[in-house]
Structure formats: structure tokens, C-alpha cells
Amino acid sequence: MIKINAKHENPVKHKTDCLIVFCVEADKPEGDLKKLDASLKGAVARAMKGKRFGGKLNQTLLVNTLGNIPAEHVLLAGVGKKEELNLDKLFQVSGSAAKLAEKSLLAKIAYAPLDSALAKKLGTKKPSSYDPTAQAVAEGLQLALYCFEVYKTKKKGDPEPVRVKEAVLLAASSGAVAGMKRGAGRAKIVADATAFTRDLQRHPGNTATPSFLARQVQAMAKSAGLKCKIVSPPEMQRLGMGAILGVGQGSAEPSKLIVMEYSGGKKGQKPVVLVGKGVTFDTGGISLKPPGNMHEMKMDMSGGAAVIGAMQAVARLKLPVNVVGLVPAAENMPGSRAIKPGDILTSMSGKTIEVLNTDAEGRLVLCDALTYAARFKPRAIVDLATLTGAVLHCLGHCAAAVVGTDQDLMDQLIASGETTGERVWQLPLWEEHESATKSDVADLKNIAGPAVMAGTIMGGAFLKAFVDDVPWAHLDIAGMAWGDEKPCAPKGASGYGVRLLVDFLQNAG
């Protein structure tokens, strides 16, 4: 656990292993950096003149201070062009710098204050009691230093790895300290929730079963102050949830519907309902996936994990909004009782579904959860799912796709994506797409025929049939939930969606 504090002190006089300084793109030191460089006997100017550092985004350079200031090292962290700087870039750069500090075996770090012009540019436009720049810096460093070593064995006598243990955010004035501390406090809540989400994503399928997810949520709900209910197969049968039960019937692991409720808004305020796909392992069922990367299908519950993490953060932040989180959890296996291509399932809504491909199971577990969501009389529904591989062909690992029924709702999600860096890109959802979900032998079919491509949109078109007259948005996060290493995320599980949803709900209060 990293201890984070804020204090007012001249960075030139602050004693630490590593002083991190944010630098805009430039040919020579300017402003506060020029003053610091004077104390360093021109070391920064020489690095810039020698083209070893120029302040480009996420560029870093570690400089030994040679005892010229109390800090043992100065780490220059490039934020790019001044006019292009935003909170997401500050978040990234904070993480990049923290990673280099830890790799360099520096356990205590401090961040110098942002140049006053930059701080003013990044300040929140709405009245706020917390410093958003402090939150971005503190979130970035914590998420960049996330590690998951639950399943690694340690040999007797192996030295403990050097981790960053302490971070200080230096304030430009004594009056700024309180807001920075509050920003850092918010960052810890959001980072902890994102780390919890990443942990759930990373556990292997033989650990993270639907029952495991349910137990994890029950424990989290108790500590965070959420109401929690677990709907098990007998009750699902009574409710007519034939779609989620169909997906899970080939597995020895019982399916679960995890229900979380948070009441932070006014009494009687309609809630926002979040729904997250919780397929804890996806073999594809009878429509078996190729074996190449099947081991990664433990992450097919990433939408559900994001909803769980967001609910934890919302409760601990005490946001003034009512929120319900639903996670339909199942394991998709090709057992002797598994559904087969051509089978017809009856969903909770009463609509019948022809299963043409058992690997299009995510929309089946979600459709029953979307019907269940109606009992909360929501003002909006947002679902998240690693639904289609097609979204990677469309957007790669750069953004999630969104389709829906309400432009204002989608615009809010897109705006939150820009703020947090968890980007969202809208795709169309036309009548032709909805028509292509109609089956010849049932009400709907779970995939369209080969004449209709648009796999990501077709997944949304299928889900739309289970949403009544409520603003609804569907996020396909398959390209964002899992991927290569980024400044503030390790290779593999990213925890995508937690920060996006928290920002969205904060503005929806």
C-alpha cells in the first residue's frame, strides 16, 4: 500500500529519493523548471541541449542531483505540448514517472507542483472542494504501480522487491494543501476499486467462478455499505430466466445474478442501473473457440468486474445518486447438458431466442439482466460487456464502442471517456440491424446471418429488444478490458470502465 500525502514545501528543499517534475515540451528550461535547474548546476539544460530530454508526452529522464538539493534524484516527466495538456495526460505521465522510479529502486517519491499556468488550465470548471490535478496524479501513480502476484511462489531467502512506499504531492501554497489531500483521497478510492476490478479479471477460471464472484461482492458490499442480493438458479427458474440458465447449463458451476444497490440520492430518485456481463470463463460452448488464446477467456467477466468496482467506488465516495449494479454470472462450457446450435431458449421477458452460435452467449446472459433491471424503474441503463471480437476490427484497443437509444446518455458517456481517458466511440444502430435479429422459428436469433456483418452493432441490436422505454446505452469493451501494457495499466487486465462509470455517475447525480 502506498502512503500518499500533500504538503506545502519548496521542492528544492524537500528531502526524498526522487523528485518528479512535470515538464512541457521545450528546447530549454523555463519557469519553475529553470529555477530548479539553477540549483542543479544546469543539468536539465544540458540534457535538453543534448536531446536526451525534450518534454514529449511520457518521456522521462532520471538525473542524479549529486547532492546539490536534498532530493537524491530528479525525474523529469514530459507532459507534451502545453496547449494539449489535459487531466488524462497528467494521469498517464504521473504513472510513467512512478514506474521508472520504482524500476530504479526508489521507494520515496515526491511530485513538484505544476507550473501555475498549467494548474490553472487543468482546474475544474465546476465548484469543487478537491483538486482534480492532485486526483489525476495520485490515481496515475497508484494504478501504474499495480501488481498481482497471488499465484507466484516465493523461494525462501528471496529479497523483498523494492516498491514505492511513499508519495508526497507538493503544493504551491499552504492554501492548496487541503484540496490536494481531498483529491488524493478520492484517487485512493477510485484506484482501489480499479485494482479490485483488475484482480477479479486476473483470477483464473478455476478460482473466479460465478460463486466466487458472488462471495467477493458480498464481502465488498458489507464493507462499503451496499445492499447485496444473490439470485441463484432455483429463483432464476421461478423468474423465467431461461437465457442465463441456458448459457450456464453445460457447466458444473451454478450461475448467479449478483444484485448491488446504493442509495446516495434523494428518496424516490430513480436509479441508474449498471449491468455487466459476468461470463467467468468462455470456451464458446458447443461452438468451441479456437485453442490459441482461449486461456484469456477468464477475462470475459470484465464488464461485470467493472460494475462491481464502480459500485464499490460510488459507495465509498458517497456520490449523491441512486445506483443499482447487476452482474449476470455464468460459465460457458461444452458439457453434456450444454445448449446446442438450433436450441430455442425462453428469456425472462417471454421472448424466445434461437441460439445459432453458443459462443454468442454474452448477449444471452445480459438480456435476462436487462429485463430484471426494469423492476427498479430506472432512469437509465448502461451495460458493459466484452461482447464481440468485431469491436477490435473497428476500434482496436483505443476505445470502447457504444450504441443505444438515448443520444444524451451516450454523449455523457463519451464526455466521461474523454475526461478519464477511457474513451468511447459511438456506432449507429439502425432499423436494418434490428430487423436482422429476427428469427424464422423464434422471436429472435442470437447472431445475424453472413449477409449482415457489423458484429458489434448486431450485439447491441439484439440487446435493444430487451429494453423498454428507458434511456439505454451498451458499451462493448472487448478491446479495452484486456491488452498490452500502458502507462497506468499492466499487460492484461486494465480495469477499464471503473473510472469511466464513476465520472459519469458523479455528473449524473
In the chain, % helix, strand, coil (3-state, to 5) comes to: 40, 20, 40
Q: How many CA atoms lie within 13 A of 277 on its CB side?
A: 34
What is the enclosing helix (H) or strand (E) of 176? none
The answer for residues whose C-beta is within 8 angstroms of residue 281's C-beta and 6 or more apart is 205, 208, 297, 298, 300, 331, 332, 333
Place of cell 470463463: 281
Residue 350 Cα distances to 239, 240, 353, 442, angstroms: 10, 8, 10, 11
Cβ atoms 448, 356 nearer than 8 A: no
- Please give the Cα distance from 97 to 419 (Å, whole number): 21
289 is catalytic: yes
Phi-psi category of 67—alpha, beta or left, where left has phi over 0 and alpha has psi -120 to 50?
A: left
Pairing of β 472-476 and β 400-404 = antiparallel
Cβ atoms 224, 189 nearer than 8 A: no
Q: Tell me which residue of 308, 335, 303, 298 sits closest to 208, measured CA to CA.
A: 298
Hey, what's the cell of 266?
A: 434523494
363 is catalytic: yes
The angle that helices 302-317 and 210-224 make with each other, rounded to 10 degrees, is: 10
Out of 289, 379, 423, 486, pick the active-site residue.
289
- Please give the Cα distance from 367 to 472 (Å, whole number): 13
Hey, what's the cell of 141?
A: 501513480
User: What's the CA dihedral at 235, 239, 245, 247 to 10 degrees?
Assistant: -140
Out of 198, 202, 256, 363, pick the active-site residue.
363
Hey, what's the cell of 307?
A: 460494475
Catalytic residues: 289, 363
